[in-house]
Amino acid sequence: MKRYERDEVENYVWGSDLWAGLHDRILVADVNDKQFWSDLFEGKGGRSFKKNLDCPENRLTLIEKYQEFNPNEPIIRSWLNDLLYKLEISGNPCFIYPHLEPEEPVDTRPVDSQGRRMSPKAVQWRDWEIWCSSPDTKMADIQALRRSNADFAEFYATTAERQRVKDDPMADINVKLNMLAPSKKAVPADVLRFAQEYRTLSSAQVKTLLSPGLNPLGPQAAADAKRLFDAACACGAI
């Protein structure tokens, strides 16, 4: 690389390859970059560029555009100012905007029925509620998860209490599932049969079976099913 005296870099020297004219530098990389860009900022379009666009990426873009329009020509400061001004007034999309404030991240968390953001725990409980209410979910699967997953056991107990307070037909079922202690007495055959059938039912089917208003065979059939259910819970068959 050619060596330049400091005075030649700082001050106009006629015939120097650092100068195209008085106050009009020619950019030579790693020699007069600082002085060149400082002059450009004071020329046409320069102040706006410095305030809104100046960054290494945009400087490189500007130089590349200059070389595209002026192939094999030195990078003359006044010519570059003219090009910069034209690009700015035309809204050239090649520049990036490095000083813009970053956008606020979008909150993608789901919301509840009242529009409130749901915590991870609330989302999990919602998913469990959907799963428990599905006709494809067997009570045996629900009980197995209660035994193996402490978080699900908490969800199930809380849901049972809410249902009890609301006097839901399922409340009595859930309370007994959570509270009745097994009996040591011999289990009657009809109770065992009921328990075996119960394990194949979904929560929705159990609700229909035990509800006087939902059982298709009528209130008496619901009462019989309720008696067998209570006995099965009491002896630990379910």
pLDDT tens digits, one per residue of 154-195? 898 888 777 665 544 454 555 445 544 444 567 888 888 888
Q: Which of 95, 3, 21 is nearest to 53 (CA)?
A: 95
Q: What is the percent of the chain with per-residue pLDDT over 90, rounded to a whole number?
A: 37
Give the pLDDT score at 115: 83
Give the pLDDT score at 180: 44
For tokens 């600082």, the residue is 34
Give the pLDDT score at 171: 47
Q: Which of the listed residues 89, 110, 129 is the one where a domain comes to its end?
A: 89
Exposed, middle or buried: residue 25 (CB in 10 Å: 0-12, 13-18, 19+)? buried
Q: Which of the listed residues 89, 108, 139 is the one where a domain comes to its end?
A: 89
- Per the structure, the complete domain to which residue 125 belongs is given by 120-235
Same domain assignment for residues 204 and 150: yes
Contact 27, 66 (CB under 8 A): no
Rg (CA), the chain: 40
In the chain, the number of structural domains is 2
Q: Of the segments 33-37, 105-109, 178-182, which one has the largest average pLDDT value?
A: 33-37
Return mean pLDDT, the chain: 84
In a domain, 94, yes or no: no
Could you tell me whether strands 19-21 and 24-25 are parallel, antiparallel, or unpaired per DSSP bridges? antiparallel
Give the pLDDT score at 127: 92
Contact 173, 206 (CB under 8 A): yes
Q: Does residue 160 or residue 132 have the better pLDDT?
A: 132
In a domain, 172, yes or no: yes
Same domain assignment for residues 73 and 131: no
